[in-house]
Amino acid sequence: MRKVKYKRPKLTSYQLGNIFHEARYCVIEASTKSGKTHGCIVWLGEQAITGGGGNRNYWWIAPVYPQAEIAYRRMRDSIVVSYRKANESKLSIRLPNGATIWFKSGEKPDNLYGEDVYAAVIDEASRLREEAWHAIRSTLTKTQGRVRIIGNVKGRKNWAYLLARKAEAGEPDMHYSKIIAADAVAAGILSAKEIEDARRQLPEQVFRELFLAEPSDDGDNPFGLQHIASCVAGISSEPAVCYGVDLAKSVDWTVIIGLDSNGAVCFFDRFQKPWTETKARIREVCGSTPTLVDSSGVGDPVLEDLQRGGSMGLSESRPNFEGYKFSSQSKQQLMEGLAVAVQQGRTTILEGPHRLEMESFEYVYSRNHVAYSAPEGMHDDCVCAHALAVMLYRSAKGRQPASSWGGHLERQPEWA
């Protein structure tokens, strides 16, 4: 029998104390990029090395396949080639002792039943379906296998949050821990400068959940219900210095929102009309005032027609109608700008559809970005128009083309 010498990779004290804890169930709510994934890769590998044999199975479960693939690559690359047999198509790693580590998606919980699993890691647990947790728990029954449940905090309305509260309350054989950004900074994993930059750039709720492991009292609303309420006001009588226009798509509404020199809403219109009448109304309202228009999809030809209607007056070569194309990344930037304005009290919100849309708006975040949208069956036209207007206002009131902003403005307004 061949002997293999194993040396554990360097880990922080909080990785060792919380992931390698003796409890069967360890629930860890942690800051993003704090080392929880790396620590659990080491833990699961050691479970397979020391307890493996007889074709025993060890699982890593992520909400979606690409996330499972990330952990698979990291585990694969950490093991010497001669001591593992990797299967790229099945995302599995077989060790010399007969143990196999599988990296799976929890998207289809029914596919997880049936196997006997000797240890498991549930990654990004707050984003995983509860049915997947039920299936994973069933696979650990016969083996009495251990499990590590890790992830960022994401509101209070999910099974991972509730399970964490049970662990925190001292349920038998459960261990709870919280790892925040300051812990990672102290351990040399993250830089304090980067954390402060994230604090400035992200909406308050997103930052507190991602970096401080503090659940939002407002569920998944990116603006904050209390902040929204504090911004509700009547319409301003001052003239508009910029407009945001969200164009109707299918059963949606076209919304025009104007902001005055203080960032307050001074114009609001919401309607459903044929395109010819829609363009005429936008020209009538916006005139030569700087206006940012949603130019995604059907908005592109509409924008071209609007741009033929005259210039902004600042430059003969630049029309006052500027386009903004929505993508997951550009919408994230747009909504985070609106969230900052609302949370700092730098804009206003009108009672009615405007406030209702703001309060129902949601976000879902992954490793790479935050996706913002209205709940299924609801509208976000007012939110998008307001966000477009705020972006134009934040660009020093329209003195730079929207296409040049890229999130790094050469000239910041006084409240940016």
What is the secondary structure of 176-231 as a DSSP string? EEEE-HHHHHHTTSS-HHHHHHHHHHS-HHHHHHHHH----TTTT-SS-HHHHHHH
Supply φ then ψ for residue 335, to 5 degrees. Answer: -70, -30
pLDDT for the residue numbered 365: 61
pTM: 0.59
Structural domains in the chain plus CATH codes: 13-212 (3.40.50.300), 225-404 (3.30.420.240)
Instruction: Write the single-letter amino acid at 54.
Output: G
Distance CA 192, CA 402 (A): 31
Q: What's the DSSP call for residue 311? A: B
Non-local CB neighbours of 412 within 8 Å, separated by 6+ positions: 394, 396
pLDDT for res 65: 94
Low-confidence ranges of the chain (pLDDT < 70): 1-2, 4, 217-219, 250, 309-318, 364-370, 376-377, 396-416
pLDDT at 313: 41
**Rounded to an integer, what distance in angstroms lies between the CA atom of residue 202 and that of residue 55?**
46
* Axis crossing angle, helix 299-307 with helix 275-286, rounded to the nearest 10: 50
Q: What does the alpha-carbon distance between residue 267 and residue 256 come to, in Å, rounded to a whole number?
A: 7
Specify the amino acid at residue 77.
Answer: D
CB neighbours of 291 closer than 8 A, spacing ≥ 6?
242, 243, 244, 245, 282, 306, 320, 321, 322, 392
Which tokens go with 47?
Answer: 């479970």
Work out the widest C-alpha separation in the chain, in whole angstroms.
Answer: 85
User: Which residues, 6+ apart, have CB-to-CB distance to 302 below 8 Å?
Assistant: 247, 275, 278, 279, 293, 295
Query: Rounded to whole angstroms, how far apart are CA atoms 150 and 268?
Result: 45
Residue in 174, 270, 236, 195 with CA at minimum distance from that of residue 32: 195
Supply the pLDDT for residue 155: 78
131 token code pair: 């049915």
